[in-house]
Amino acid sequence: MQFLCTQAEIKKTQQAIENIASDEANLEAKIDKKKAELERNQKRLETLQSVRYCTHVGNDFGIFNFLRVS
């Protein structure tokens, strides 16, 4: 009987290891996705910070002229 319990415990432990490995791979993929998203957002922020409102064109459409600051 002890042998059967040990085999069951080994199988359970192996399954837990497989689940952990799967979870780790999923988390690494999520981290990579978030890093890429962060890089895109940082570049977008830099672009937005380099654009300033220069003048307002006097019309009813609210059109702005933009000046890109280097």
Regarding predicted confidence, which is higher, 6 or 65?
Answer: 6
Tell me if 63 sits within 8 A of 57, measured CB to CB. yes
CA-CA distance, 30 to 24, in Å (whole number)? 10
Q: Compute the residue count for the chain.
A: 70
Between 7-11, 28-32, 40-44, 64-68, the lowest mean confidence (pLDDT) is in 64-68
Q: What pLDDT is attached to residue 33?
A: 98
pTM of the entire predicted model:
0.58
CA-CA distance, 49 to 70, in Å (whole number)? 10
Taking only the tens place, the pLDDT of each residue in 20-41 is: 999 999 999 999 999 999 999 9
End-to-end, the C-alpha distance of the chain in Å comes to 77
Q: Which residues contact 67 (CB under 8 A, 6 or more apart)?
A: 51, 52, 53, 54
